[in-house]
């Protein structure tokens, strides 16, 4: 049998395997960096066959690169592993496989885990772990504490999930207990196809970092996301695991979901500023100012004038939609308009429920 194995290894090295070609991956997911920081595209909630996912860990790396991401966390369920009978290894195995693959791809994989309990507290992710195994313990508070003691970044997943709270969205006493102990640092504003308004409110009240994650089990192409894979934009000093960790604890994130950007105004403003190029030409003879706006990003930019009267008077179009990586032309017909500015709501940059980033253009 030893001999047989030796032969096999020889066969493989000779002509069963082809030396892998350098992979060329393409992506149209483009966001500008902001002044001080790089804008990293991340997904911190991902499953593999080692829990109830359907793909091998290294597939998650190539998939994420093709999706245009910079970093992911592997977060297999600790307590729910339906393929367990067919697998060996421990709770670190899935992230170890992915981390090894990532090394060869200039990509960042963060070791994580999903503490998977009934409500409360529901499901909780811990990332930047050194060792997942100590988190496998009966008492959920002990499990979260074990993560905390490793310096993990910890967040509450999908607080709006109907399967756990069919008719309510409640912040339970147990969440208060964990939060008070400093064990909760973030909350999923977006999970898979769902947006959770309560998460936003709690995040603002309690200074939690907001996240937008895929919770992917199948593949990007077969998952019914809303328009695209949800992504957490992270503003980090560099492309490194430590810099991402710093950014998460410092709440430097935005959520990209349903072709819109959600989050704190200061980051929205910085991102928006670098997202557009504007050219202007005023023709006084015909009382028109012509604008050309180029959208340098992958998020559609939709501008709606705040003053609907000037739309009715046909001074300005009622909606200016600049699709991703597209140039749009329109004009302001100012013959019957005496103001110096037109103010817009940016309907795809949202800093609170129904509150949009403001933007203004010169009339002339």
Query: Least Å distance between CB 206 and a second copy?
Result: 24
Other C-beta atoms closer than 10 Å to the C-beta of 49 total 19
Query: Least Å distance between CB 190 and a second copy?
Result: 19
Residue number, 79 or 264, with CB nearest to a second copy: 79
Query: Least Å distance between CB 362 and a second copy?
Result: 16
Query: Least Å distance between CB 351 and a second copy?
Result: 25
The Cα 312–Cα 101 span in angstroms is 57
Residue number, 66 or 150, with CB nearest to a second copy: 66
Query: Least Å distance between CB 282 and a second copy?
Result: 10
Count of alpha carbons within 13 angstroms of residue 202, beta-carbon side = 25
DSSP track, 240-305: SHHHHHHHHHTT-EEEEETTEEEE-HHHHHHHHHTTEEEEEEEEGGGTEEEEEEEE-SSS-EEEEE
Which residue from 52, 353, 316 is spatially nearest to 199, judged by alpha carbons? 353
Query: Least Å distance between CB 329 and a second copy?
Result: 5
Residue number, 62 or 274, with CB nearest to a second copy: 62
Residue number, 181 or 313, with CB nearest to a second copy: 313
Query: Residue with structure tokens 């000779």?
Result: 14
Other C-beta atoms closer than 10 Å to the C-beta of 353 total 9
**Could you check whether the bond before residue 343 is cis, i.e. omega within 30 degrees of 0?**
no
Task: Answer for the pair 256, 276: CB distance below 8 angstroms, yes or no.
Answer: no
Query: Least Å distance between CB 210 and a second copy?
Result: 24
- Give the tokens for residue 180: 């008070």
Residue number, 27 or 242, with CB nearest to a second copy: 27
Q: What is the DSSP letter of 219?
A: -
- Give the tokens for residue 246: 């710093």
Query: Least Å distance between CB 359 and a second copy?
Result: 16
Residue number, 88 or 338, with CB nearest to a second copy: 88
DSSP track, 161-190: -TTT-SS-----HHHHHHHHTT---EEEEE
Other C-beta atoms closer than 10 Å to the C-beta of 233 total 23
Residue number, 49 or 211, with CB nearest to a second copy: 49
Query: Least Å distance between CB 352 and a second copy?
Result: 28
Residue number, 209 or 289, with CB nearest to a second copy: 289
Residue number, 258 or 294, with CB nearest to a second copy: 294
The Cα 200–Cα 195 span in angstroms is 9
> Which of 7-26 are b and which e, b meaning 16 or more Cβ less than 10 Å from the residue's Cβ?
eeeeeeeeeeeeeeeeeeee
């Amino acid at each position: 049998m030893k001999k047989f194995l030796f032969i096999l290894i020889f066969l493989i090295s000779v002509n069963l395997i082809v030396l892998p070609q350098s992979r060329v991956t393409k992506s149209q997911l483009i966001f500008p960096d902001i002044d001080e920081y790089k804008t990293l595209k991340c997904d911190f909630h991902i499953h593999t066959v080692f829990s109830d996912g359907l793909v091998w860990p290294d597939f998650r790396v190539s998939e994420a690169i093709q999706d245009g991401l910079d970093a992911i966390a592997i977060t297999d369920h600790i307590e729910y592993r339906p393929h367990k009978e067919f697998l060996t290894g421990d709770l670190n195995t899935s992230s170890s496989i992915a981390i090894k693959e990532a090394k060869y791809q200039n990509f960042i994989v963060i070791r994580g885990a999903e503490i998977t309990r009934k409500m409360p507290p529901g499901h909780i992710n811990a990332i930047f772990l050194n060792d997942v195994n100590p988190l496998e313990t009966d008492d959920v508070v002990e499990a979260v504490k074990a993560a905390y003691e490793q310096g993990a970044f910890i967040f509450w997943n999908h607080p709006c999930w109907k399967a756990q709270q069919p008719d309510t969205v409640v912040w339970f006493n147990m969440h208060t207990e964990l939060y008070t102990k400093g064990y909760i640092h973030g909350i999923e504003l977006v999970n898979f196809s769902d947006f959770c308004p309560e998460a936003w409110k709690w995040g603002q009240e309690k200074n939690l970092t907001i996240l937008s994650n895929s919770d992917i089990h199948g593949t990007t192409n077969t998952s019914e996301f809303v328009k695209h894979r949800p992504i957490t934009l992270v503003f980090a000093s560099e492309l490194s695991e430590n810099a991402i960790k710093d950014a998460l604890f410092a709440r430097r994130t935005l959520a990209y979901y349903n072709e819109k950007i959600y989050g704190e105004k200061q980051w929205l403003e910085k991102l928006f500023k670098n997202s557009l190029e504007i050219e202007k030409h005023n023709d006084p003879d015909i009382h028109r100012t012509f604008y050309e706006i180029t959208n340098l990003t992958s998020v559609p930019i939709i501008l709606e004038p705040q003053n609907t009267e000037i739309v009715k008077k046909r001074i300005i179009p009622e909606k200016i939609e600049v699709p991703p990586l597209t140039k749009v032309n329109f004009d302001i017909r100012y013959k019957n308009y005496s103001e110096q500015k037109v103010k817009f709501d940016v309907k795809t940059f949202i800093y609170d429920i129904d509150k949009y980033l403001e933007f203004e253009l010169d009339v002339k």
